[in-house]
Amino acid sequence: MGKKIIHQKLSEGQKTELMLRQALDWEQAKFLTFVDVEASKGAEEGSNDVIEKITGRPPKTFEEFLEAHKPIWVEAFKPRE
């Protein structure tokens, strides 16, 4: 998309605090932090045939999804005047 995306690693506490500042309640912030931490440990890695069984198409990578929908993302992130 022509923009650099930088990932900043945060501690569990920093992630929770960030979500609290974004108006999530404590339970939501803690749960989303837990999900993020577990994903970083590989809990969501791997694949199976569920997506293909449900949709009739093999799953796409995140990069493939972005590329397939690039015009939508470019429009959504255009600077607003």
Q: Quick one: how far is CA 77 from the chain centroid?
A: 16
Q: For residue 43, what pLDDT is reported? A: 80
* Separation between Cα atoms, residue 14 and residue 5, nearest integer Å: 19
For 7: left if phi > 0, alpha if psi spans -120 to 50, otherwise beta; the answer is beta
Its pTM stands at 0.55
Return the domain boundaries, the chain. 12-76
Q: For residue 1, what pLDDT is reported? A: 59
Tell how many helices (H) and how many strands (E) occur in the chain. Answer: 5, 0
Q: What is the pLDDT of residues 21-48, one digit of tens each?
A: 998 999 999 999 999 999 888 887 777 8
